[in-house]
Amino acid sequence: MTARQIAIQQCYTLTGLGSHEVVLGVTPTARHDSLHASYLLNLGRGWEGVRNTIVADIRASLDLGASKQAADLLIVLRRFLSERLEATSVRSLNGPAEIVTFPSRNGDRRAACC
């Protein structure tokens, strides 16, 4: 997997995940490419919908005690967000970046750029 990943702190900001929901220690592999591609099939729901689906899947994995699956999904999420930020950076050269809001786990809405 050659795509860059965003920093964990950026991931917290853009997703509402807490530090207790982030499982590290997995190295990106071709399996992550496949998982990433499967989530991209849902882009018709918008990037926020895909992001929220991945976050929900991470939380569901953690609830089930599947920490390896949660760590794999975090790799996919970080790649997905990196690609979104890169696309937004290019687009912002031609105009202002969009501001989006997203629900945190407790239902509050947070704002983030991109």
Question: Is there a domain that residue 103 lies in?
Answer: yes
Burial label, 7 (beta-carbon count in 10 A; 0-12, 13-18, 19+)? exposed
Q: Which residue has the higher pLDDT, 102 or 4?
A: 4
pLDDT value, residue 52: 94
Closest CA to 36 of 22, 26, 50: 50
Question: Is there a domain that residue 60 lies in?
Answer: yes
Q: Which residue has the higher pLDDT, 22 or 73?
A: 73
pLDDT digits (tens, 9 = 90+) for 15-70: 888 888 888 877 888 889 999 999 999 999 998 999 999 999 999 999 999 999 99
CA 92/CA 94 separation, integer angstroms: 5
- Statement: the pTM of the whole predicted model exceeds 0.85: no
User: What is the total count of domains within the chain?
Assistant: 1
Question: Is there a domain that residue 27 lies in?
Answer: yes
Question: Is there a domain that residue 3 lies in?
Answer: no
Question: Is there a domain that residue 2 lies in?
Answer: no
Task: Give me the domain span that covers residue 30.
Answer: 8-113
- Is pLDDT above 80 for 96? no
Question: Is there a domain that residue 1 lies in?
Answer: no
